Amino acid sequence: MTEGNFVDYVKMHVTSGNGGKGSSHLHREKYIAKGGPDGGDGGRGGHVILRGNSNLWTLIHLKFKRHIRAGHGAHGSSGRSTGADGEDMYVDVPLGTVVRDSETDKILFEITEDGEERIVVEGGMGGRGNWHFKSSVNQTPRYAQPGIPLEEKDITLELKVLADVGLVGFPNAGKSTLLSVLTSAKPKIADYEFTTLKPNLGIVEYRDFQSFVMADIPGIIEGAAEGKGLGYYFLRHIERNSILLFLIPADAKDIVEQYEILVDELRRYNPEMLDKERFVVVSKSDMLDDELKSEISKVLDKDLEADYMFISSVAQQGLTELKDKLWKMLND
């Protein structure tokens, strides 16, 4: 999935259908005097319905659909004929889509299952025809109910990526390189910061035709929870990851300090994210000899509050062990 095709934030205006008017028709037929009321009911207005679709990974198909309108209900007619219901409008969204009211910013619901359907705005009920209102004291009612008007609402769709493992780290830590080596994803890779501007997803193939999903999240910097850099905008994608895989390069000045800064940014954004399982990999470790690794391990064993592993994406070192570790964590 390329950056240009990844859309995770869409605003739209949704409008349901009006309910049809009830009919106030009076029966007219030869040889039948005073046939009485026979006006039918109006049809229901169409709903706007969001439906989960596991085949979708992004909201790009809705990028330019800013107005969604359902059909109006037809009016009732003679012979107690009920008007046709308005056409419902179905909008397919990827799993993990959060729906908000744009005016109040209140979360309305979230789509998490394939085929799950949720009504965003309901169509108006059809009005009742005049035959409902006949009685012994009013045998010829000449009135019927109007249909209930439509509903309209401004909504915001936010996609929170559903991935088993989320890559967390500072810019240029090697997240995209690791994703490209472990999966068939083709993220942009370069030797400058903020190369990744959109989350990238990849399928990690494991033994016996098993697999799990890994997401490369754009780099987080100190102060991301206050909106600095790109991190704040994409931190919501980490909320849906089962495991947080922290990548810290071997040439970092202080590996423990970088890890603590990243954890603190997650805590300030959403303290619940600290309940997730965490694992640290020291990337670019092909630059280290055995003596340096030993010295770094002593420091990490003493001060790091998480398990860790040395890997090198470029030199293909430790990747099989990493997949084994992640698979074990996902299935324990």
DSSP string, 37-94: B-PPPPPPPPPEEEEE-TT---SGGGTT--EEEPPPPPPPBTTTBPPPPPPPEEEEE-
Phi/psi zone of residue 8: left (φ > 0), alpha (ψ -120 to 50 degrees), beta? Answer: alpha
Annotated binding residue at 156?
no
The candidate with the shortest Cα–Cα distance to 62, out of 72, 73, 41, 48, is 48
Annotated binding residue at 325?
no
Annotated binding residue at 172?
yes
Annotated binding residue at 175?
yes
Distance CA 324, CA 29 (A): 82
Annotated binding residue at 16?
no
pTM above 0.75?
no
Q: Which pLDDT belongs to residue 272?
A: 80
Annotated binding residue at 136?
no
Q: Strand 277-283 and strand 97-101: pairing? A: unpaired
Q: Which pLDDT belongs to residue 234?
A: 61
pLDDT, tens digit (0-9, with 9 covering 90-100), for 171-184: 777 788 888 888 76
Q: Strand 107-111 and strand 211-216: pairing? A: unpaired
The candidate with the shortest Cα–Cα distance to 131, out of 123, 119, 143, 116, is 143
The candidate with the shortest Cα–Cα distance to 157, out of 97, 113, 215, 114, is 97
Annotated binding residue at 170?
yes
Annotated binding residue at 23?
no
* Band (169; pLDDT cuts 50, 70, 90): confident
Q: Which pLDDT belongs to residue 6?
A: 65
Helices and strands, number each (H, E), in the chain: 5, 14
Annotated binding residue at 93?
no
Q: Which pLDDT belongs to residue 150?
A: 95
Annotated binding residue at 219?
yes
pLDDT, tens digit (0-9, with 9 covering 90-100), for 273-285: 788 889 999 988 8
Distance CA 71, CA 147 (A): 13
Distance CA 128, CA 148 (A): 11
Would you say residue 190 has pLDDT above 60?
no
Annotated binding residue at 212?
no
Amino acid at site 10? V
Q: Which pLDDT belongs to residue 216?
A: 79
Other beta carbons within 10 Å of 263? 18
* Band (270; pLDDT cuts 50, 70, 90): confident
Partners of 71 in the β-ladder = none
Annotated binding residue at 15?
no
Annotated binding residue at 53?
no
Annotated binding residue at 216?
yes
Annotated binding residue at 184?
no
Annotated binding residue at 304?
no
Annotated binding residue at 302?
no
Annotated binding residue at 42?
no
Annotated binding residue at 55?
no
Burial of 90 (0-12, 13-18, 19+ CB in 10 A): middle
Distance CA 167, CA 176 (A): 9
Overall average pLDDT of the 231-249 stretch: 75
Annotated binding residue at 180?
no
The candidate with the shortest Cα–Cα distance to 99, out of 149, 155, 173, 24, is 155
Annotated binding residue at 115?
no
Q: Phi and psi (nearest 5°) for 260?
A: -65, -35
Question: Considering all CA atoms of the chain, what is the largest pairwise distance in Å, rounded to the nearest integer?
Answer: 109
Annotated binding residue at 243?
no
